[in-house]
Each structure stands twice: as C-alpha cells, then as structure tokens.
C-alpha cells in the first residue's frame, strides 16, 4: 500500500509506465452526495417500510453497489428503489463536487489521460448529475451499474470502461471510496486506489490494503505524469 504523502512512494511511475486511463467512482470520490442519499433513503424507507429508524449506517457500508443489490443484501423491499431515485433526482441540486475535483479533472485531461466514471448509480442518473454539475464533458465515458451484466464488486464495469477507452489494465487505475471499488479494481487487474476525502470507513479501507491511498484529489496528479505520445 502506498500513501502519496510519503516521499518514498515506490509507486510513482516513470513516464514509460505511467497510467494512461483513470476510472473514477462517483459518490464519495467526485461528488459529496451523502446528505442527499441519507434524505432520499429516509424518505424511501418511510414510504415503503413504514415508521422506524432507517438503517442508513448499514446502507452506507454497501455504497458502491447497485441500489437493488444493496436492498437484497439488507433484506429490504426492492420497491424502495422508486422513491429513492425520485428523491435523489429532486435533491440533486444539493450535491456538490469535492473541492479540487474540477482542477484535478482538467489537469488530467491536459496531460492526455482518458477518464471514465464507473458508478453504482444507474447510467442516466450519473450522467444527469455530472451534466448538472458541469463536468460531464471532462469524461470520455460514464457507465452505470444498470449498463453491465454484473455490477461491483464484479470487474465488469471497470472492464467496460477500459474497453471503451481502448486501455489495457496495466495502464489504468480505479479510484474508489468503498471496499466494492477496490474489489472491482483488483478483479479487473487495474491499480486499486483508495480515496479517503469523503465519509468513507477509513479503517476498513486501509485494512483492505489498497495499492495507493489518497487523502486529497490533487494527490492523484503525483501518479499521473503527462502521457507520452507514440
């Protein structure tokens, strides 16, 4: 595991072996959507299940997965998806990009890297949110869990991103804030990078021994020098 705050990283690439493509998770990595998710989950639970304390803490442990899969794991009704998605759209104006994300994405594009999003959200909802935030054009592709056969922690969504970007696994990395992101990255054979600037379970993420640990978006630039042409 490498923490880019250390000078003796050992993983900082030379230009010949530098990554050419980066796959990002969305929630907790690019956008701070936790408050919106809490509210949407609370409304959906009240509408479908009824009174009582919604188990958001447990839900939070499964972030990165497709919402229907989380409901199945938690033993909650799949009917919660409709009000959850409805409220997520209604509250989307409250979602914000994490500080430094726009600068990071623009600099990575300037350096010639290909960028994609692989999210537990549906594709249409993810693209709608990124368009609303003004950063959709910075990505080559945005892929939702409804657009692959097997969502995270399976490798399908990362492999799909690599295929669309015409990138090999050895030339790519996946940035995520959940254990499912790390599992998906490893299964796809890409460098697994833990993003710890959101509301992630830091101890669990560190215990999973990601290849790299980042504590601020800008730290990713240390791993991504300009892409060599030719």
* Cβ pair 178, 64 in contact under 8 A: yes
Other beta carbons within 10 angstroms of residue 17's beta carbon come to: 8
Whole-number Å distance between alpha carbons of 79 and 23: 30
Query: Catalytic annotation on 211?
Result: no
Q: Which tokens belong to 194?
A: 């833990």
Using a 10 angstrom Cβ sphere, with 0-12 exposed, 13-18 middle and 19 or more buried, the burial of residue 119 is buried
Whole-number Å distance between alpha carbons of 117 and 137: 12
Nearest to 143 by CA among 155, 134, 133, 111: 155
Cα–chain-centroid distance for residue 230? 30
27, 156, 181, 211: the catalytic one is 27
25, 32, 156, 177: the catalytic one is 25
Cα–chain-centroid distance for residue 131? 16
Query: Catalytic annotation on 177?
Result: no
Residues whose CB falls within 8 Å of the CB of residue 20, separated by 6 or more in sequence, listed in order: 112, 113, 114, 167, 171, 172, 227
Question: Phi and psi (nearest 5°) for 142?
Answer: -130, 120
Strand order in 21-24's β-sheet? Answer: 2-3, 212-214, 191-195, 172-176, 21-24, 114-119, 141-144
List residues with catalytic annotation. Answer: 25, 27
């Amino acid at each position: 595991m490498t923490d880019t705050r250390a000078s003796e990283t050992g993983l900082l690439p030379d230009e010949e072996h530098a990554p050419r493509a980066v796959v990002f998770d969305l929630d907790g990595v690019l956008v701070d959507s936790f408050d919106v998710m809490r509210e949407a989950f609370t409304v959906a639970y009240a509408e479908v299940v009824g009174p009582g304390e919604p188990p958001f803490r447990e839900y939070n442990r499964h972030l990165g997965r497709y919402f229907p899969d989380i409901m199945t794991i938690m033993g909650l009704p799949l009917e919660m998806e409709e009000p959850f998605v409805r409220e997520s759209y209604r509250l989307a104006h409250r979602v914000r990009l994490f500080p430094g994300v726009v600068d990071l994405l623009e600099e990575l594009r300037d350096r010639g890297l290909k960028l994609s999003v692989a999210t537990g959200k549906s594709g249409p909802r993810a693209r709608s949110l990124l368009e609303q935030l003004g950063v959709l054009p910075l990505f080559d592709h945005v892929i939702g869990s409804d657009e692959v056969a097997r969502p995270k922690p399976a490798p399908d969504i990362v492999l799909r991103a690599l295929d669309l970007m015409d990138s090999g696994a050895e030339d790519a990395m996946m940035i995520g804030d959940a254990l499912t992101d790390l599992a998906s990255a490893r299964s796809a054979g890409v460098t697994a990078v833990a993003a710890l600037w959101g509301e992630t379970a830091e101890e669990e993420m560190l215990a999973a021994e990601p290849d790299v640990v980042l504590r601020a978006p800008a730290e990713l630039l240390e791993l991504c020098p300009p892409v060599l042409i030719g």
